[in-house]
Amino acid sequence: MQQNLLDLDLAGLTAWFAEMGEKPFRAKQVFRWVHKAGEPDFEAMSDLALSLRSKLVERATVASPEVMREELSADGTRKWLLNVGTGNAVETVFIPETDRGTLCVSTQAGCALDCAFCSTGKQGFNRNLSVAEIIGQLWWANREVGKNSEGNWPITNVVMMGMGEPLLNFDNTVTALRMMLDDHAYGLSRRRVTVSTSGIVPAMDRLRDECPVALAVSLHAPNDALRDQLVPINQKYPLRELMAACQRYLEKAPRDFITFEYIMLDGVNDTLKHARELIALTRDTPCKFNLIPFNPFPQAPYQRSPADSVRRFAETLIEAGIVTTTRKVRGDDIAAACGQLAGQVQDKTKRTALRIQEVRG
Ligand code: SF4
């Protein structure tokens, strides 16, 4: 079987090259061709000996997940539905802005955590994505969008906020993160790579020690009673433990604050009483809040908070000295906004698969 080079970080590629009797500097050359230059064709790697190129053609491949469907929003947001085999699909979203390009990456097919407001959770868990399937999203999206006029790749920021809980696919997520940060690959700043977690406390400590990047925590409720319902993993890692883990994370984090994500659900978690509880909860934790208007999906038991409620909620936090932003709803015409990433994926997958079969006859 051919080795997919997207599965190997530089250390792994060097070890694989050693098994073939090839020197470490050759591994570095190939790593740079694949990730820095975005080149999948070994024959085009012009500074490699012909004998090495032939060996690679025979034994290796560079394969990111197959794109089943692409959607382009009027605001420039692009969403790709990726086939990760056995009827599973995940989504990757590229969000262009004037000063940066952000890629939202998935780490699992489905998710086991079943947050009450999340369409992914309704699908259940299918499997962890491999390193190649995670880094392949960045590799492929860079090539697809293309370099800008200065010759730079378009993606400057990565957020692991797509389908799945990254810290429950810890090893593959961290290997992919290291590749994102590696100067011989994408060279992204730790401050511009964000892992979003629902609060897997022991894994937050491991991430801090093994590969600290910016951290976002899906908070969504100011007290255990409500968070137990909205984010059921809270029953295992309640708020007291979660806030302590956030403070430990900050000891080594590349940013001096945690971002708390807070989805605004009409009449559920969006009152001024909730805002005041949040202020008390986060008193000892340097943080920013990102308020996210809920994107209803079919059978969703919640409604989006009215704009006035969101504004008053934000003002209350800001008056207490907490930097608070409200996420712009982007790409909602293609269901690419947060919480919709996996919306109807399985249906779409089946429909797309059917169409592919029809096309192939
Ligand atoms: S919000 Fe995140 S952690 Fe919760 S079910 Fe959805 S994908 Fe999983």
What whole-number distance in Å separates Cα of residue 307 and Cα of residue 313? Answer: 10
Place of tokens 């982007």: 330
Nearest CA to ligand 1 atom 7: 164
- Contact yes or no for 183/224 (Cβ under 8 A): no
- pLDDT given for residue 356 in this prediction: 21
| Contact between residue 196 and residue 213 where contact means Cβ atoms under 8 Å apart | no
Return the best residue to mutate from 118, 159, 237, 302 for the ligand 1 pocket (most ligand atoms within 8 A of CB): 118
**Residues with Cβ within 8 Å of residue 242, at least 6 apart in sequence:** 199, 201, 217, 234
Q: What is the predicted pLDDT for the residue at 355? A: 25
Nearest Cα neighbor of 138 from 94, 194, 172 is: 94
The rounded Å distance from CA 308 to ligand 1 centre is 27
Closest CA to 49 of 25, 76, 78: 25
Helices (H), 62-169: 119-123, 131-145
Tell me, using a 6 A CB cutoff, whether residue 91 lines ligand 1. no
Q: Classify residue 49 by burial, with Cβ atoms within 10 Å: 0-12, 13-18, 19+.
A: exposed
Are 208 and 271 in contact by the 8 Å Cβ rule? The answer is no
Q: Tell whether the torsion through CA atoms of 322, 339, 124 and 9 is positive or negative.
A: negative
Distance 112 CA to ligand 1 centre (A): 8
Q: Are strands 214-218 and 157-160 parallel, antiparallel or unpaired?
A: unpaired
* Residue 335 banded pLDDT, cuts 50, 70, 90: low
Q: What are the chain's domains? A: 3-61 (1.10.150.530), 66-360 (3.20.20.70)
> Quick one: pLDDT at residue 330?
62
User: How high is the pLDDT of residue 121?
Assistant: 80
How much is the pLDDT for 157? Answer: 98
Take residue 5 and report the two structure tokens written for it: 């080079």
The whole-angstrom separation of Cα 230 and Cα 18 is 49
DSSP state for residue 304 in the 8-state scheme: B
Which of 113, 200, 229, 262 should be mutated for ligand 1, with most atoms under 8 A from CB? 113
Confirm if 162 and 90 have CB atoms less than 8 A apart. Answer: yes
- Tokens 């599973």: give the residue: 88
What mean pLDDT, rounded, does the chain reach? 91
At residue 253, φ and ψ (nearest 5 deg) are -70, 150
Is the beta carbon of 324 within 6 A of some atom in ligand 1?
no
Among 10, 4, 5, CA closest to 180: 10
Candidate of 91, 93, 108, 120 to mutate for ligand 1, largest count of ligand atoms within 8 Å of Cβ: 120
Query: Which H or E element spans position 323?
Result: strand 323-326
The bridge status of strand 214-218 relative to strand 193-197 is parallel
Task: Spot the catalytic one: 261, 315, 338, 358.
Answer: 338
Most distant CA atoms of the chain, gap in Å: 69
* Token couple for 305: 């908070």
Instruction: Confirm whether 261 is a catalytic residue.
Output: no
3-state secondary structure of 283: coil
Tell me, using a 6 A CB cutoff, whether residue 125 lines ligand 1.
no
CA distance 244 to 248: 6
Q: The tokens of 142 are what?
A: 């860079």
pLDDT digits (tens, 9 = 90+) for 75-96: 899 999 999 988 889 999 999 9
Nearest-angstrom CA–CA distance, 168 and 204: 10
pTM over 0.85: yes
Which two three-digit tokens encode residue 139? 């590799």
pLDDT value of position 318: 98
Q: What percent of the chain has pLDDT over 70?
A: 91
Residue 55 confidence (pLDDT) = 97
Q: Give 204-257 pLDDT, tens digit per residue.
A: 999 999 999 999 999 999 999 999 999 999 999 999 999 999 999 999 999 999
Closest ligand 1 atom to residue 163 Cα is 7
* Over residues 110-119, mean pLDDT: 91
50-83 pLDDT, tens digit per residue, is 999 999 999 999 999 999 999 999 889 999 999 9
Q: How far apart are CA 130 and CA 136, in angstroms?
A: 9
